[in-house]
Amino acid sequence: MKNKHILHLYNRIGFGILPNEVEKLNSKTPTEVVNTLFESSETITPLYIDTNFLNSVSLKALKNKSKRQELMKMSRKKVRELNLIWMDRLANPKEVLREKMTLFWANHFVCEDKNVLHVLQYNNTLRKHALGNFGDFVKAISKEAAMLKYLNNKQNRKNSPNENFARELLELFTLGQGNYSEKDIQESARAFTGYNHRFNGDFILRRRQHDYGEKEFFDQVGSFDGNDIIDIILQQKQCARFICQKMYTYFVNDKIKPDRIEEMTSIFFKDYNIEKLMKYVLTSDWFYDEENIGAKIKSPIELLATIHKTVPFSFQRPKQQLLIQKLLGQILLFPPNVAGWKTGKGWIDSNTMVTRLRLASVLLNNAEISYSEKDDFKAIVNSIKKEKRRKRAFIKTETNWQKFNENYESISNEELFESLILCPITSGTKEIINQYKDLPKKDFCIQLMSLPEYQLC
């Protein structure tokens, strides 16, 4: 397998790969490399955060306003801590493909909650089903406490149906806009009535609130519940097509090729096996076409994790990670809305581009970063009061240059360039490379990560 193709593969299913790891793989076929990736992601390692403070909460405590506010405050703090735990996992993944898939699904089955226990359960459900059966995945999501609250299905009752979850299930999660009727929304909402959860997040069906009556959904009639509705959705080939298009734009190219989507759809529609679909994509010749290499803009989280893969670093003040995420436009666990983050060119504007180009220098040289304060961010970085007043901050990190030198000592600056930049470069970039090609490898690396082309993978 060509080195360039290995680098491309690991940029898409992970956050880069080190030279010694590439060397171990270049004598293998694409199928062998991909199979090894899947084998290493068979294990599921859940995220963990201590939620014991919720274990002994009584109904009486929940009715006490001050106690309830105290619990909510602590829980919101824990959600921010969970953000850092997840970011650390992405920067140091064991099951690299599963973790990248979890990140993908988090921007598909978009959800936000303030209860850290329910947020943790939801995130681990994404991880558990990331490479499994899509039908089982959707059914699990429909019963998650965080989702039941986020899309108001807790308020969905027999005598007063709430259509919010049903609408997003069809529009955002399974079929895409325009592939269902208003009646389908109304009837499916009835099927999800009575869905609720216990305090610990366990799903329960409130039978008195569930509509057991006959429903008509996609020309089928029956006393459907939520699982039945999902099964009927899966019978629509458009569901497989919609998911394949989302996966293609995330893992292959933002520019859709209808014939490739139909090719993938024919595979996925048979059994909705996510692992089988991903293996098909990653072993296809067209996945490694030149037009797909270096063609995608890294998300902020991918950018951070990729820099870390090359040059390991840690924040001396971990909460500054939240500031960096905010400035880049993506805070894990805090999506902008139910549609999630706009990807591709949506990641780039005049403000984020400046931050992106300076990011390597800021993270690896303990540099100062300026920013515009926004009110909605006060709750997230309220501990960084001094920096907020000045609207600038010194990002303090500990950078492991020794590890970088060990990983890259056997390669030249030219080879380092080829491992970090896969897309075609402009004449201006060529001049910059020639200007800095004789720099010490550490400095040359930072210059490479400061190029516009480094934003692509």
Q: Which helix (H) or strand (E) segment is 304 a member of? A: helix 300-310
Three-state secondary structure call for residue 219 = coil
pLDDT the model gives residue 391: 66
How confident is the model over 143-153, as a mean pLDDT?
98
Residue 379 has pLDDT above 50, yes or no: no
Which residues make beta-bridge pairs with 157? Answer: 160
| Cα distance between residue 97 and residue 34, in whole Å | 10
How confident is the model over 206-233, as a mean pLDDT?
98
Residue with tokens 């969905």: 156
Give 253-283 pLDDT, tens digit per residue: 999 999 999 999 999 999 999 999 999 999 9
**Residue ranges of the domains in the chain?**
3-40+236-292, 300-455
What band does 385 get if pLDDT is binned at 50, 70 and 90? very low
Residue 382 has pLDDT above 80, yes or no: no
Cβ(158)–Cβ(209) under 8 Å?
yes
3-state helix, strand, coil in the chain (%, to 5): 60, 5, 35
Residue-wise over 328-364: b if at least 16 C-beta within 10 A, else e? bbbbbbbbeebebbebeeebeeeebeebbebbbbbbb
Residue 383 has pLDDT above 50, yes or no: no
For the chain, the average pLDDT equals 94
Q: What is the DSSP string of 97-154?
A: HHHHHHHHHHTTS----S-HHHHHHHHHHHHHHTTSBHHHHHHHHHT-HHHHHHTTGG
pLDDT the model gives residue 375: 38
Q: What is the DSSP string of 386-415?
A: HHHHHTEEE--EEE-HHHHHHHHTTS-HHH
pLDDT the model gives residue 393: 78
Highest-scoring range by mean pLDDT, 192-196, 378-382, 433-437: 192-196
Give 287-341 pLDDT, tens digit per residue: 999 999 999 999 999 999 999 999 999 999 999 999 999 999 999 999 999 999 9
| Cα distance between residue 457 and residue 449, in whole Å | 12
pLDDT the model gives residue 60: 77
Residue with tokens 């491992």: 419
Residue 171 has pLDDT above 60, yes or no: yes
The DSSP bridge pattern shows strands 313-315 and 397-399 to be: antiparallel
pLDDT the model gives residue 240: 98
| Cα distance between residue 356 and residue 449, in whole Å | 9
pTM of the model: 0.95
The candidate with the shortest Cα–Cα distance to 413, out of 53, 14, 7, 19, is 19
What band does 57 get if pLDDT is binned at 50, 70 and 90? confident
Cβ(226)–Cβ(141) under 8 Å?
no
| Cα distance between residue 46 and residue 83, in whole Å | 14
Task: Quote the percentage of the chain above a pLDDT of 90.
Answer: 90
**How many CA atoms lie less than 13 Å away from 144 in the CB half-sphere?**
29
How confident is the model over 177-197, as a mean pLDDT?
98
- Judged by average pLDDT, the poorest of 81-95, 107-121, 378-392, 399-413 is 378-392
Structure letter (DSSP) for residue 19? H
The candidate with the shortest Cα–Cα distance to 233, out of 152, 153, 172, 303, is 172
pLDDT the model gives residue 152: 98
pLDDT the model gives residue 387: 44
Give 345-377 pLDDT, tens digit per residue: 999 998 899 999 999 999 998 777 877 644 344
Residue with tokens 């090359």: 310
Token pair, residue 223, equals 């006393």
What band does 389 get if pLDDT is binned at 50, 70 and 90? very low
The DSSP bridge pattern shows strands 215-217 and 195-197 to be: unpaired
